[in-house]
Chains A and B, each alone.
Chain A
Amino acid sequence: QKEVEQNSGPLSVPEGAIASLNCTYSDRGSQSFFWYRQYSGKSPELIMFIYSNGDKEDGRFTAQLNKASQYVSLLIRDSQPSDSATYLCAGERDTDKLIFGTGTRLQVFP
């Protein structure tokens, strides 16, 4: 079992819809979780992190963490074609290291 698991997708949503990206993790010791966005052929860039149970909102993005269920999600409201990318979920391990999932590819069509 991988430490951080994501559905590879693609997840296809129409423009303006809510995209829901999900991630599960196996290490209960992980405290913080990160969402990175990676456009094709580019490097990952951090869009959000969360370390408390509940929701954290930043503009159109909402990260959700449920430590009891070992579940992390990212919601993108009013999805735009420019949001089409691969979204990587990462869990923090041993305080300094990030363990990445393999990513979910999101496609937003007009």
Chain B
Amino acid sequence: DAGVIQSPRHEVTEMGQEVTLRCKPISGHDYLFWYRQTMMRGLELLIYFNNNVPIDDSGMPEDRFSAKMPNASFSTLKIQPSEPRDSAVYFCASSHDRYEQYFGPGTRLTVT
């Protein structure tokens, strides 16, 4: 299996622009997680899905963030409008049970 795939790997955008991050989980995994990692706050869970259904979005920082999972093989995390404080590495992870999450390579987002 190719593992969790994320795109783009790097994104540089200007404040106010819309940013869309994409994730393809490992085939057969029922759970998909979106995390954000910064030096100051570490790895934070933003939202997770089970069988394509959002279960907990309490970690989404504000209404500018939204996430969708239209099918079992694709998810997006959108930021609109983006702000400099959104600069971070965004990870997608998937698992078939709650014990072992496989992380994608991450998307490094820089908002200027």
Q: Tell me the smallest distance from the CB of B27 to a CB of chain A, in Å.
A: 18
Digitize A91-110: 1 where CB-to-B-CB distance is under 8 Å, 0 elsewhere. Answer: 01011111111110000000
A102-B42 in contact (CB<8A)? yes
> How many interface residues does chain B have, given as a range?
20 to 34
Interface membership of A81, Cβ < 8 A? no
Residues of chain B within 8 A (CB-CB) of A92 are: 98
Q: Size of chain A's interface in residues, with CB distance under 8 A?
A: 20
Residues of chain A within 8 A (CB-CB) of B99 are: 32, 34, 49
A44-B103, A100-B43 known; A95+B91 contact, CB < 8 A: no
Q: Name B's interface SS.
A: strand
Q: How far does the alpha carbon of A52 sit from the alpha carbon of B56 in the complex, in Å? A: 27
Residues of chain A within 8 A (CB-CB) of B42 are: 88, 100-103
Residues of chain B within 8 A (CB-CB) of A17 are: none
Residues of chain A within 8 A (CB-CB) of B102 are: 46
A45-B103 in contact (CB<8A)? yes
B98-A96 in contact (CB<8A)? yes
Identify which of B41, B43, B48, B98 gathers the most chain A CB atoms within 10 Å of its CB: B43
27 CB < 8 A contacts A-B: A34-B99, A42-B105, A43-B103, A43-B106, A44-B91, A44-B103, A45-B103, A46-B100, A46-B101, A46-B102, A49-B100, A88-B42, A88-B43, A94-B56, A96-B31, A96-B56, A96-B98, A97-B48, A97-B56, A98-B45, A98-B98, A100-B42, A100-B43, A102-B41, A102-B42, A102-B43, A103-B42
Known: A45-B103, A99-B45, A100-B45. 4 other contacts (CB 8 A): A46-B102, A96-B56, A100-B42, A103-B43
B interface residues, Cβ below 8 angstroms from A: 31, 41-45, 48, 50, 55-56, 91, 98-106
A interface residues, Cβ below 8 angstroms from B: 32, 34, 42-46, 49, 88, 92, 94-103
